[in-house]
Structure formats: C-alpha cells, structure tokens
Structure 1
Amino acid sequence: MQVPFVKMHGLGNDFVVLDARVGDVPEMTARLAAALADRKTGIGCDQLILIEPSDSATFRMRIFNADGGEVEACGNATRAVGLLHGAPATIETLGGLLSSNPADGGVAVDMGEPRFDWNAIPLAYAMDTLSIPVGWEDLDAPSAVNVGNPHVVFFVPDYAAVEIERLGPLIEHDPLFPARINVNFATVTSRDAIRLRVWERGVGETRACGTGACATAIAAMRRGLTDRKVTVSLEGGDLTIEWGAGNRILMTGPAVESFRGTFDPAAYGVAG
C-alpha cells in the first residue's frame, strides 16, 4: 500500500498533508503521526494534517503535532489546506469552524472569535487573562488568549534575546496550564507592526505560527499597544492580522506546496 501525501508550508511552518477524501489513509495514531513527522526517519514536518469528509463543512481538518498529540487549530495549516483546495471553503476543526478564501499574496482565513475567559484558555484557576499575575524569571504579566488553541503572550523589549529553548518548555509544561500552552515572545515596534517568536506546544520553536500571530496581535490590541490591523513578522515571513467586524480575526498570508510523494505504512509498523 502506497499512501500519497503533499508536503506544504506556511512561512516555513511545514506540514505533511494526507487527504482521506481521495484515497485510503491508515488510521491516524499519535505513534504514526510522530513517526511521519520525524525529520530523520520519516517525511519530516512540524505538523501532520489529515483532511477528511465533513457533514457540517466543506471538509474536516485534523492536526497532529510533531510529538503525535492532536491539537485544535493551526493557522498556517489552514492556509495550506485552503491553497490545496483552491476555492472558498469552510473547515471543521476541533477548535471550531473556520473559513478560507484565496487572496492576493496567498490565502485569507477567518479564524473566528478570540476567547479570554480563564477556563477557556484553560488556566488552572481563575485570574485576569489580560495581565496574568505570574512570572517566570524575568518574564512576567503575560496575556492569555484562546484562538482555537491556547496561547500565552509576553511583550518584551527584545524578542530575539529571549532564551526560548530554555524558557519555552518551562512555561509550556507549567501546572498553570493543564492543557499545556503555546508560548509567544513579542516586541511591538509600531502601532501596526510586531516582531514575534513562538514556542509551539508539542513542537518547539517554529519559523512561523499562524495562531501565535493571531493571539499576539489580539493581546497587543487588548492592551492598546497597536491598532486593530497589524503586520506580525516571524522568522519565516509576515502575516497580516485584523480584528474586525463581529469580533472575528482575519489572518492573511502565503502558503506553498513543496512536493508530493507516497509512503508505505508498513515501514512505520502499520498494516496496509
């Protein structure tokens, strides 16, 4: 059995995409997802994306991080599958219903409404999510927001100087975050521009994170640090984030198909 896949990326945040609507795909498990994501012995990716039929949307998108854990949302992946679909689409995810549309320079995605209640993040106990009264070493008073998946955002003088490899996992696994957390380190450079690094839950630092860009922009807007439309610059490139009508988040940016191939599930201990 040979299973087709498409390798894609959004600003360097890369995906292996399997489409169960057009061919047989083995049952996805955490072990298989992690094996396919492995950059030395698998295909290699930050997230594995599984497209399935949906009764409530154009299609369903399931997202597995590199450690095999299934997560609720991924903004860059939503743009990637939107590009692959090639037309306006509604997309069912664990984080809610999203929509994508072709746009100049890539794909525009309606990421829905942000959530700020402490139990929607979720946090371990009630507190104000605009400025959480906790800290880790020199980092303190972050904002928390759920944009389909959970994020904590630190505004720092120099985002590039943060020891992300050490502090990212420390914060991700803190008991304050019972579902773990995506960790964002941001520097606001003007009323319409932010520089950002993201430690992704279950992945590590990535070249770009769409939901991280959304969460960081929303946190900056809530604090009055920026206007309602900003450019968020990550290592892989720029995303435009707008918090617009109906309280909804619109994210616009590029996505790219890298190559196509096949793999044999038997090579990963899965029967064909």
Structure 2
Amino acid sequence: MKIKFYKYQGAGNDFVLIDHRESALKNIDTKLVAKLCDRRFGIGADGLMFLLSHPDYDFEMVYYNADGNLGSMCGNGGRCIVAFAKHLGVIDSETNFLAVDGAHYAKISAEGNWVELQMIDVDDIQQDGEAFVLNTGSPHYVKEVSSLEQMDVYTEGYNIRNNQTYQRDGINVNFIEQKPNHLFVRTFERGVEDETYACGTGVTAVAMAMAKKQNQVGKIETPIKVLGGDLQINFNYDGQKFTDVFLCGPAERVFVGEIDQL
C-alpha cells in the first residue's frame, strides 16, 4: 500500500505532511514516524504532520518530532500546514485551526508561500543566569552570545538540553547574536536532537527575550536571520505580557511523492 505525502519547508525547517482526513495509513507509532523522518532510510524531515478534520475548526494539526514522539507546538510546522491546507482547498486566505497548544489563527498570501501565524500569548519569562527561559508553545532556553557563526551549537546546545535542570523534559536551546539590523539565531531542537535550520517557536522566544532584556514596549517588529533564511516576529508588549504575537515567513512545497507503508 502506497501512502501519498508532501514535503514542505519553512526557512529550512522541513516537514513531511500527510492528509489524514481519509488516509489509508494505519498503525502510526514511534518507529514508523521516526523511519519516515529518517534522512537515509525514509523521506527525511525535522518532523511529520497529519492534517485531520475537526468539527469546530478548519482542520487539526498533529505534529510528531523526528524521533517519532508526539511533539509540542512547532511554529514553522504550523506555517507549513497552513500552506498545505490552502493547497488542498481546505482554506483560502485565512484559517482557524487546532494544534496541541490550542487554537491558532493564520493568514496566507494569495500565492500561498508566505504565512503569518498567530502564536500564544506569553506572560512568564524566567531567567537561568544570563539566559532566559520561556514557553511559546514549546519550552525554550535563550542565550545571547558572540561569534555565533563559529560556535559549536550542537555541543553547547546538547549540553544545556541534557543538563540536570532540563534533561527530564528537554528544552530547545537558542543562541542569539545581535546584528545591526536583525538578530541572528541558531537553535538546537529537542526531538530532533540536533541543530536545525530554523525553529519558529524558538525565534518567537528569542524576540520576546530580547524585548524584555532591552526594556522595549509597544508594537515591536523583530527581523531574524536563521541558517535557512529570514523570519519576522511581530507582537505587542506592555512590559508584562506579549500579545498579538505573529510568526511570519515563507512556507514552500518542495515535492510530492508516495512511499510504501513501512
């Protein structure tokens, strides 16, 4: 039995997407998902998503990490599944859909390759030394560094993700360098257990942490560069709470294919 899949990427964060409203794919387990995401023995991706029907929303997003486990919210995955839903004819230019962290609103360009995804409000940012810790749908550790281009992000991120404080639940680790007109960000992602080319919830956390650190308030637009391209975070911040949070960036279909059910 062959299963049709779609491959999407958002700023280099890549995903396998399957329309599961009437899919013949059965026996979805950790081993199957991990194999589909494997870059040598499967399709290859940072994660896998199913688009499901939902009685109260346009659709439901179910996200799995590349290790095969159900994941927390994935921002770039959310943008990609919105583009996928438009391609399928499920939505047009706007949508309200359900994800693991609740309902999300999004809007998509007429061409279908630029998505602005509303993220959850955030009012709790903790500090761990000079780093910030917050949850933007997924938990994030945010640290400002210098010479980020040359940094060994895998080793540094792995050590923080697996230290005594964070090893039980895991955490995504983001390193930032302030540039003249943008923030440069690199991320080690739990669930992938490696550096990825982008992380949507991660750059959202980064923009919030820097706004708090620099005592910025009001309507803030933060351009961010990641290894896979450019993203932008927009939000309102009153000094206590981040609201009207949008993760904006590209979402592109790479290819369509079929794979035998493994």
The 1-side partners of 2:169 and 2:101 are apart by 14
Deviation by residue 1:192-232 (Cα, 9 ceiling, x = unmatched): 62000010112111111111111101111111176721101
Return the letter of the residue paired with 1:94: V
1:85-234, aligned counterparts within 5 Å? 85-86=85-86, 87=92, 88-103=94-109, 106-116=114-124, 129=126, 131-133=127-129, 141-177=130-166, 178-190=168-180, 193-203=182-192, 204-224=194-214, 228-234=220-226
Runs of 4+ in structure 1 deviating by more than 3 angstroms, as ranges, are: none
Deviates further, 74-83 or 103-112: 103-112
Deviation by residue 1:237-267 (Cα, 9 ceiling, x = unmatched): 11110113871311111011011111111xx
Question: CA RMSD for the aligned pairs?
Answer: 1.8
CA contact (8 A) 2:71 2:191 kept: no
The 2-side partners of 1:11 and 1:72 are apart by 19
Return the letter of the residue paired with 1:110: Q
Residue 76 of structure 1: SS of its match in structure 2? Answer: helix
Residue 80 of structure 2: SS of its match in structure 1? Answer: helix
Deviates further, 246-255 or 232-241: 246-255
Q: Percent identity?
A: 30
- Give 1:237's match in structure 2, choosing from 229, 237, 244: 229
Deviation by residue 1:128-171 (Cα, 9 ceiling, x = unmatched): x1x323xxxxxxx2101101010000011222232212111111
Return the letter of the residue paired with 1:254: P
TM-score normalised to structure 2 length? 0.88
Instruction: Using the TM superposition, give the Cα deviation of residue 21 of structure 1 relative to its aligned residue in structure 2, in angstroms.
Output: 1.2
1:9-24, aligned counterparts within 5 Å? 9-24=9-24
What's the counterpart of residue 263 of structure 1? 259
Instruction: Using the TM superposition, give the Cα deviation of residue 70 of structure 1 relative to its aligned residue in structure 2, in angstroms.
Output: 1.2
Task: Give unpaired runs (5+ residues) of structure 2.
Answer: 87-91
The 2-side partners of 1:101 and 1:113 are apart by 18
Residue 70 of structure 1: SS of its match in structure 2? Answer: coil
Task: Give unpaired runs (5+ residues) of structure 1.
Answer: 118-128, 134-140
TM-score normalised to structure 1 length? 0.85
CA contact (8 A) 1:172 1:180 kept: yes
What's the counterpart of residue 82 of structure 1? 82
Count of equivalent residues: 246
The 1-side partners of 2:37 and 2:174 are apart by 23
- Give 2:244's match in structure 1, choosing from 241, 244, 248: 248
CA contact (8 A) 1:10 1:80 kept: yes
